[in-house]
Amino acid sequence: MSSLLGLSFIGFARGQSTAAPYRAINPATATALEPDFFPATAAEADKACILAAQATPTLAALSGKKKAAFLRDIATRIEAATPSLVARATQETGLPEARCQGEIGRTMGQLRLFADLVEKGDWIDARIETANPDRKPLPKPDHRSLLRPIGPVAVFCASNFPFAYSVAGGDTASAFAAGCPVIVMGHHAHIGTAEIMGGLIVEAVKANQLPEGTFSLLMGEGRVIGQQVAKHPALRAIGFTGSRVGGRALMDTAAARPTPIPVYAEMSSVNPVVLLEGALASRGDAIATGLLGSCTLGVGQFCTQPGLIVLTRSDAAESFINKLSALFTDCADGVMLTAGIHQAYQKGLTARAAQAGVKVVAQGKSSGQPNRAVATLFATDAKTFVADASLQEEIFGPSSLVIWCADQREVDAVLGALHGNLTATIHGTDAELAQHAALIARLEAIAGRVVVNGFPTGVEVSHAIVHGGPYPSLSDGRTTSVGSNAIYRFTRLVCFQNYPDAALPTELQNLNPLGLSRLVNGSRSNSAL
Ligand code: NAP
């Protein structure tokens, strides 16, 4: 693709690196794609961080309207460039065209959601406690607080979402919305797509007359260049989506800095699905079809892929598993995103099949083509599962583990042993759901989103969505990486004491010129003071 240079964006300049190049690989054919991509040098990464630090005060002072215009401009440019983005991404990832089109739609939707949020302005959580000079024994000062941008954010792109969790994805959109400069670490799985997207953002930065350091995109290895950025004194936060090993490495780097910074890493989740007998008896076949679809969607390469299926022995459960096994056996293989992800999947299957107390109950068809994952269903019993924490490790791909429980006590033991997850799902009749309130409460304790009579894949981008959960699904289980609440990750609270009105941020001034909903002396108000 001749328009690609294979060079980083260091603010408005292109990288000049001549370091050993690498290429994107088409995983469907295992062939390298043109052109060469040149890893950013240490000096270029340093420059990107310094530019970001320089841009910080200007971005922090931007009005919600200006930030909204910038975010909408990026979305408009993505819309216009959709054909070239799709053409490159389908080659680099093996993902079908319709999936890429859909993901671009979602990416533009995210940018526009954040634009609407910051234009409205209430998200900033303005609070005012007016002074009381007559209070005894001490006068009460005037306190006004709001959320401020945290500063430069490094975003590590996800292999499995070339758009929605990559260069212009949710982390970048929420950091820009908060008023933070962003340094993106492109993922080698779709580095050409990253370059096209990076160019669109740079154009939007220029068109909106924002400072040069608002955005940089670095090519190269996350383990090298990404680590350097993570240690840079100018950096204030990290957004990451990928493996637990990678996320944990960044958490450790961030914690070991002279000035530690927060890492918002979305890492691994096995998304348990609990199936109650009545639901299986009344609609077992429909649940099996839905579950197969959820397990194998996108070749199982979703963070919400249901990797654990928990059920109690009964005739309905036996016939459900027979149906599910037949569906798995019929399943065609699918091309995975990278050779590395395919190798990790194969390794995971081999290790699990060799584990004592675990057996393969169904396996799909293999075409023998490169980098294809074969859907695989394993089964074990509750005692084996509870005794072996490795059975909770994510096998990233179209594989699930059935956990047979003898009774409700074993179901409770399985749920009690579970680590943090992005989602937990339960299927039951109305009567069962009413009867199992304690079980549903257990699911809430281990997951950021509890799904009733549905399937966990398909994450809505909205104001109410939570795409987070206790560790290890997220590094910080108090947050979400999808939806408008993701903006709060890149902010910090500041309180202004006894400020003259004119010196206060507009959002906190007496006249409430932006008409915000503010908490004034404990009560919500849109009025002037
Ligand atoms: P990854 O290996 O964690 O890499 C993600 C990004 O982080 C890449 O840019 C990578 O850079 C960087 N990185 C990795 N280790 C790092 C370290 N120690 N320090 C700094 N940066 C580091 O994930 P992946 O390549 O996307 O896929 C590999 C495996 O991750 C999959 O097989 C799967 O198990 C898991 N995964 C899980 C999810 C999920 O949603 N749960 C999503 C994607 C992947 P370089 O590789 O260029 O060094």
Average pLDDT score over residue span 324-329: 98
Q: Is 470 a domain residue?
A: no
For residue 373, what is the domain's CATH number?
A: 3.40.309.10
Strand spans (E) along 160-300: 182-185, 215-218, 237-241, 263-266, 272-275
> What is the band of 26 on the pLDDT scale with cuts at 50, 70, 90?
very high
DSSP 12: T
Cis peptide before 472 (omega within 30 of 0): yes
Average pLDDT score over residue span 290-319: 98
> Which range marks the domain in which residue 358 is found?
272-452
Q: Can you give the pLDDT at residue 394?
A: 96
Query: Same domain, yes or no, for 199 and 180?
Result: yes
Tens of pLDDT, residue by residue over 121-133, are 999 999 999 999 9
Query: Same domain, yes or no, for 276 and 262?
Result: no
pLDDT above 90 for 502:
yes
Helix, strand and coil in the chain, % to nearest 5: 45, 20, 35
Instruction: Report which ligand 1 atom has the smallest distance to the Cα of 395.
Output: 34
Q: Can you give the pLDDT at residue 265?
A: 98
DSSP states of 49-87 as a string? HHHHHHHHHHHHT--HHHHHHHHHHHHHHHHHTHHHHHH
Query: Same domain, yes or no, for 41 and 115?
Result: yes
* Closest residue to atom 25 of ligand 1, CA basis: 159
Rounded to the nearest angstrom, the distance between the alpha carbon of 496 and the centre of ligand 1 is 41
The SS3 assignment for 263 reads: strand
Q: Is 526 a domain residue?
A: no
Query: Same domain, yes or no, for 136 and 29?
Result: yes
Query: Same domain, yes or no, for 154 and 230?
Result: yes
Cis peptide before 27 (omega within 30 of 0): no
0.85 exceeded by pTM? yes
Nearest to 403 by CA among 424, 385, 427: 385
Q: Is 281 a domain residue?
A: yes
Rounded to the nearest angstrom, the distance between the alpha carbon of 292 and the centre of ligand 1 is 26
Number of domains making up the chain: 2
As given in the structure block, the two tokens for residue 504 are 């206060």
Q: Can you give the pLDDT at residue 490?
A: 98
Q: Is 505 a domain residue?
A: no
Query: Same domain, yes or no, for 242 and 282?
Result: no
Report the distance separating Cα 215 and Cα 198, nearest Å: 8
Q: What percent of the chain has pLDDT over 90?
A: 99
Instruction: Report which ligand 1 atom has the smallest distance to the Cα of 302.
Output: 40
Nearest to 100 by CA among 156, 164, 192: 164
Rounded to the nearest angstrom, the distance between the alpha carbon of 435 and the centre of ligand 1 is 41
Query: Same domain, yes or no, for 100 and 63?
Result: yes
- CB within 8 A of 350, min separation 6: which ones? none
Q: CA dist 206 to 12, 195, 286, 386, 409, Å?
A: 8, 17, 52, 55, 61
Residue 295 appears among annotated catalytic residues: no
By the 10 Å C-beta count (0-12 exposed, 13-18 middle, 19+ buried), 105 is classed as middle
Residue 157 appears among annotated catalytic residues: no
Run of H or E including 525: strand 523-525
Tens of pLDDT, residue by residue over 178-218, are 999 999 999 999 999 999 999 999 999 999 999 999 999 99
Q: Can you give the pLDDT at residue 1?
A: 44
Query: Same domain, yes or no, for 55 and 120?
Result: yes
Nearest to 216 by CA among 22, 8, 57: 8
For residue 24, what is the domain's CATH number?
A: 3.40.605.10
Q: Is 509 a domain residue?
A: no
The SS3 assignment for 325 reads: helix
Tens of pLDDT, residue by residue over 401-449, are 999 999 999 999 999 999 999 999 999 999 999 999 999 999 999 999 9
> Hunting for tokens 């839905």 — which residue is that?
290
Q: Is 137 a domain residue?
A: yes
Instruction: Report which ligand 1 atom has the smallest distance to the Cα of 158.
Output: 26
- Rounded mean pLDDT of the chain? 97
Query: Same domain, yes or no, for 194 and 299?
Result: no
Query: Same domain, yes or no, for 290 and 245?
Result: no
**507: Cα separation from own chain's centroid:** 30
Q: Which of 159, 184, 221, 240 to mutate to test the pocket of ligand 1 (most atoms within 8 A of CB)?
A: 159
Q: Is 394 a domain residue?
A: yes
Query: Same domain, yes or no, for 32 and 115?
Result: yes
Nearest to 429 by CA among 281, 214, 271: 281
Average pLDDT score over residue span 110-120: 98
